[in-house]
Chains A and B, each alone.
Chain A
């Protein structure tokens, strides 16, 4: 077995790639939330003068990728890969953004776990010497997701208390090989040191209004596997950050891990519980690729650059169903992908 593999599911970077820059663009509702000040750009309205919500989402991702690239001062043709995805069928947000940007593209679908999955793969590509610079980009949009997964946006219905609100937001990272000589912007460059690729876990949850419950077992499974593979404790991390479990899923992960004698305390947070305030009436929290994307690329990386957080386990959570599979009575397969970020 390669010396870069640890245990069953974990890879460890030999020469940890750096996150050189990051950039976030969000919609107005996210801008009004508690993390409003941490985003690079807040749109005044979620259509942003585009012809459709799909075009708006694609533009959002393009702006986020362009933003991180501009901040870094790296030239466009130095980027070896763009890697990432979104929630829409055939990854149209990613594909249309890439049409404008022209980077060699690897489109990924990990549902809402795409940020963590893309970061892990970008790290492996760079550490494997297949690339020098890789851009990661993810997006989601409340209205595009509503019309694809649920109901027309103006249709009146009552949301369940366990339902989550899809974030309108795009996030990007620019990763590069360490010691590339790029001037350190806003403090230290956080590094991707390890990644645990998750397995699909499905304990039979069928309720699409309770995605947190569908994803929690997979996230818990990945956290356990990661800790076993790395021979670590939760307390070895300043922060264990799940993607978009929301209130219900976040509590369920703690319940599941308690049964395996792993106790998560104050170091366990969830992006889905951070974006919106209690007054914003979103019920169980936030979701979407943009949810973990903008929290990780915004607030968390800023805290890492300032040295407020040293070692973070970021576990993206994804619900890998489709409206068709749900109508056919299938349960929701969940997945969790973990990356370790250190300064």
Chain B
């Protein structure tokens, strides 16, 4: 319940005026720098994966086997670099360039696993390992079900 009789604040600025002031004083993201970093780092991760796919195909794997193996390797390095405390430093600069590749997904699972270890394996790691990745999984699975249904109906 709002108290209508209260002494109004001493400041004279209205919420609308203040919203304009906040916009004026809040620094803008360093967009160009961020874009370049994201492009270079995201591109490098993908280029490395492509080199691995090509090399694995050269070793006699089928295209599907090669891409699955390369994905697993990128996940492994994402997890490893998270453990060494390097991956968050990389994403700080590269943004989506480090988040969108599958190594970023590995980071989003390994980081809470490390974080909540001290609260126990069940109540900590087990319960909270998907705090970051959970929404991605939930809505990813829902979307894939929708896409699968469309595919089924259109190709019947």
Against B, the Cβ 8 Å flags (1 = close, 0 = not) of A37-77 are 00000000000000110000000000000000000000000
Do A152 and B9 form a contact, CB below 8 Å, given A158-B95, A162-B26? no
Against A, the Cβ 8 Å flags (1 = close, 0 = not) of B11-45 are 11101011101100111111000100000000000
| B27 and A162 contacting across the interface, CB-CB below 8 Å | yes
Against B, the Cβ 8 Å flags (1 = close, 0 = not) of A252-263 are 100111011000
Interface of A is mostly: loop
Q: Please, how many angstroms separate the alpha-carbon atoms of A150 and B111 in the complex?
A: 13
> For residue B12, which residues in chain A have a CB less than 8 angstroms away from its CB?
259-260
Total interface residues in chain A, CB < 8 Å: 39
- Asked if B70 is at the interface (CB within 8 A of a chain A CB), the reply is no
The residue on B at minimum CB distance from A214 is B22
Do A147 and B115 form a contact, CB below 8 Å, given A161-B27, A161-B28? yes
| B114 and A210 contacting across the interface, CB-CB below 8 Å | no
- Asked if B155 is at the interface (CB within 8 A of a chain A CB), the reply is no
> For residue B116, which residues in chain A have a CB less than 8 angstroms away from its CB?
152
- Asked if B4 is at the interface (CB within 8 A of a chain A CB), the reply is no
| B107 and A252 contacting across the interface, CB-CB below 8 Å | no
Which of B60-68, B80-88, B142-150 contacts its partner? Answer: B80-88
| B18 and A284 contacting across the interface, CB-CB below 8 Å | no
| B13 and A203 contacting across the interface, CB-CB below 8 Å | yes
Do A156 and B28 form a contact, CB below 8 Å, given A199-B9, A203-B13, A252-B22? no
Instruction: Sort chain B's interface into a size bin.
Output: 35 or more
CB < 8 Å neighbour of B91 from A157, A213, A256? A157
> For residue A32, which residues in chain B have a CB less than 8 angstroms away from its CB?
none
- Asked if A155 is at the interface (CB within 8 A of a chain B CB), the reply is yes
Chain B: minimal CB distance from A172 (Å): 26
- Asked if B99 is at the interface (CB within 8 A of a chain A CB), the reply is yes
Q: Which of A8, A162, A284 has the most CB of B within 10 A?
A: A162
Do A152 and B25 form a contact, CB below 8 Å, given A217-B13, A221-B9? no
- Asked if A326 is at the interface (CB within 8 A of a chain B CB), the reply is no
| A154 and B114 contacting across the interface, CB-CB below 8 Å | yes
Do A154 and B110 form a contact, CB below 8 Å, given A161-B29, A162-B26, A162-B27? yes
CB < 8 Å neighbour of A204 from B19, B30, B104, B115? B19
| A152 and B112 contacting across the interface, CB-CB below 8 Å | yes
- Asked if A134 is at the interface (CB within 8 A of a chain B CB), the reply is no
- Asked if B46 is at the interface (CB within 8 A of a chain A CB), the reply is no
Q: Please, how many angstroms separate the alpha-carbon atoms of A259 and B98 in the complex?
A: 44
- Asked if A251 is at the interface (CB within 8 A of a chain B CB), the reply is yes
Q: Please, how many angstroms separate the alpha-carbon atoms of A154 and B84 in the complex?
A: 9
Chain A: minimal CB distance from B35 (Å): 12
The residue on A at minimum CB distance from B84 is A154
The residue on B at minimum CB distance from A210 is B26
The residue on A at minimum CB distance from B26 is A162
| B10 and A221 contacting across the interface, CB-CB below 8 Å | yes
Do A248 and B26 form a contact, CB below 8 Å, given A152-B116, A155-B108, A156-B91? yes
